Amino acid sequence: MAVNLKSLYSKDTAKRIDKVQRHGERQERIPGRKPSQKVLEDLGLRERRHWPRYEPAYRIIKTAFPEFEWKAVMEEGKHFVLFYDHPNPHASLAEIVLESYRRHFEREEGREMFKQRVEINTFPTNIQQRVKPLLFSEEGEAFAKLLVEEIGISYPPMSIMESIRDWFYRALEGEPTTVIVPVCPDYETENTGNPANPKVYTFKGLGDSIGYVAQRALYSIPKLWHFFHERGLEVNFVVAIGDFEAESEETRKRVGVTKEEFLRRLRRSQEAFQNACPIPDKNLRTPFISEIAPRPFEDILEDAKRNVEQGDYGALGITENDLEIIAKARKSLYKRWFGEEVDSKEVLKLQAPEYMAMGEVSGNFSNPLLLGVDSVSMAPFMQGMSKTIRPVLYLRNVIY
């Protein structure tokens, strides 16, 4: 008997699901051919008099994966079934059917009846592995697609992606959630003529508009807000600018302004961002970083500096070799900022505490996610001052 979407929740189907669950408890995977055929027969998904014999199973799959199609053909007297947009060619037909059942129960009843049996290839294999922790539900898949296909993220280590999964699950459960986005001042830039790297900072001046890095936040935040808003979830965004950079006499001299004027321009930059960002004002704040710290930011920064002096960079366990690699990646920027003779590693050790302190500040919010829009090479320092992994996402493809 064929099973369609309308009959999926009948008493007869409930009996089939009992069998599905028993199969799920008995073994991790269902091999193809005879083991798969036996499960499909138990579920009443095999036609004995018509071709294709497993068309009832194909219809079940299509209810969960609408793009899936099949076509029965005959060549030289032999029957074949061709599949199009198959969810996972490496899984047996029985496994795909069980996954289809699972997804229906999860979507229609808001709960998971039994665990996922097979991995569905939502992305190319290499990307699939990098975002695998998010693929625990349809909502998780939708979020992963947003990050990969629309926003464009740099794929973090698996431990961080697992932390992002936990953050996302808490947000779905309705826990008050905040995305914190640190941004740089509106330092002067110049065009490079290179499409892959269109602008670089020159540090020859300081503007009061939306800076190069902050523009990336302006692109990403509305996409994230709409994703959660469509699901009836209220997520707040805090775009915090690095006012601590006004404390650097060398930076002030480089851009040619006093500390007071530096801060005035940062304030105008933040006002410009608030006015330009197309999400409700109630969901967006644009303060200085020092204004969101749970205690004086200078004190947090001093604690972070002491950690750096002791070689303690937090949960990821950054080594001296890691610092060498990161410093090399930042060398071009530091030369433009501090001159040709700059010691990149020493500057990095001066900047690392600022990122570590920002990670600490994020803990002042409910269910926080840190969204980095500057260079991903600095992402590891966001894990500083913590023994547990924080949820930190960075956008990809920025070289400045």
Bridge partners, residue 71, by sequence:
82
Q: What would the mean pLDDT of 307-324 be, rounded to a whole number?
A: 92
What b/e sequence results for 169-207 when a residue is b if at least 16 CB atoms lie within 10 Å of its CB, and e otherwise? Answer: bbbbeeeebbbbbbbbbbbebeeeeeeeeeebbebeebb
List, for residues 125-162, the tens digit of each pLDDT value.
778 888 988 987 778 889 999 999 999 999 999 999 99
Phi-psi region of 72 (alpha: psi -120 to 50; beta: other; left: phi over 0): beta
Contacts for 134-142 with beta carbons within 8 Å, 24 or more apart?
A: 134/161, 134/164, 134/165, 134/168, 136/165, 136/169, 137/106, 137/112, 138/103, 138/106, 138/107, 139/172, 139/231, 140/165, 140/168, 142/227
Quick check: 54 pLDDT over 80? yes
List, for residues 219-269, the tens digit of each pLDDT value.
999 999 999 999 999 999 999 999 999 999 999 999 999 999 999 999 999
Superfamily of 128-395 according to CATH = HUPs (3.40.50.620)
The count of residues in the chain is 400
Distances (CA, A) of 350 to 71, 299, 355, 357: 63, 15, 10, 12
Task: Judge if the upstream peptide bond of residue 156 is cis by omega within 30 degrees of 0.
Answer: no
Q: Are 279 and 286 in contact (CB under 8 A)?
A: no
How confident is the model at residue 116, as a pLDDT? Answer: 54
∠ CA 384-220-191 to the nearest 5 degrees? Answer: 90
The alpha carbon of residue 98 and the mean position of all alpha carbons in its chain are separated, in whole angstroms, by: 28
Rounded Cα gap, residues 128 and 145, in angstroms: 11
∠ CA 295-243-179 to the nearest 5 degrees? Answer: 70
How confident is the model at residue 119, as a pLDDT? Answer: 55
Beta-carbon contacts of 6 under 8 Å, excluding residues fewer than 6 positions away, are none
What residue ranges do the domains of the chain occupy? Answer: 11-121, 128-395
Q: What is the enclosing helix (H) or strand (E) of 255?
A: helix 249-255
How confident is the model at residue 4, as a pLDDT? Answer: 36
Confidence of residue 181 (pLDDT cuts 50, 70, 90): very high
Beta-carbon contacts of 94 under 8 Å, excluding residues fewer than 6 positions away, are 23, 30, 35, 36, 37, 39, 40, 57
